[in-house]
């Protein structure tokens, strides 16, 4: 109630709201409003981020990638992780596997290199 009454009294003289150095009570109310606003934004951002993470997880699985791995990358690296994912995701035609013998891009399920005929152990 103190916060609300302080805001009400500050509303009588709006300039007091910004005069935080001489009126510590108003400063406290202003900080309270700022913190609540920050929390609402943080919560909204958090929900959006969860939705993005779920989308990355599903999208990665759909493309035959490791969904859990990308989920962790996006959560840990945040926006940078998402950008990395979008870049990697865009290169759909680019093979992620390379021949250890000649270094060329080869299909994910290839048992031997189509270029140098090198056989793989797996
Ligand atoms: Zn090769």
Distance CA 61, CA 86 (A): 14
Residue 49 Cα to ligand 1 midpoint, Å, equals 41
Distances (CA, A) of 52 to 34, 43, 79, 112: 26, 14, 10, 37
pLDDT in tens, 33-59: 999 999 999 999 989 989 999 999 999
Q: What is the pTM of this model?
A: 0.46
Residue 87 Cα to ligand 1 midpoint, Å, equals 26
Residue 66 Cα to ligand 1 midpoint, Å, equals 25
Residue 105 Cα to ligand 1 midpoint, Å, equals 8
- What local confidence, expressed as pLDDT, does residue 10 receive? 57
CA–centroid distance for 12 within its chain:
42
In this structure, are residues 106 and 97 in contact, taking their beta carbons and an 8 Å threshold?
yes
Residue-range domain boundaries for the chain: 2-91
Span 6-34, average pLDDT: 68
Span 60-85, average pLDDT: 90
Residue 92 Cα to ligand 1 midpoint, Å, equals 21
Note the helical H segments in the chain. Answer: 2-12, 15-18, 24-62, 67-77, 79-90
pLDDT at 116 over 90: yes
- What local confidence, expressed as pLDDT, does residue 57 receive? 93
Name the 3-class secondary structure at 104.
Answer: coil
């Amino acid at each position: 109630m103190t916060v609300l009454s302080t805001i009400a009294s500050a509303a009588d003289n709006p300039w007091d709201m910004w005069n935080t150095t001489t009126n510590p009570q108003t400063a406290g109310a202003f900080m309270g409003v700022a913190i609540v606003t920050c929390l609402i934004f943080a919560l909204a951002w958090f929900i959006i981020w969860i939705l993005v993470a779920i989308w990355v997880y599903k999208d990665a699985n759909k493309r035959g990638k490791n969904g859990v791995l990308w989920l962790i990358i996006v959560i840990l690296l945040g926006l940078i992780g998402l950008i990395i994912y979008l870049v990697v995701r865009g290169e759909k035609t680019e093979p992620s596997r390379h021949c250890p013998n000649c270094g060329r891009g080869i299909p994910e399920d290839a048992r031997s290199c189509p270029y140098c005929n090198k056989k793989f152990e797996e």
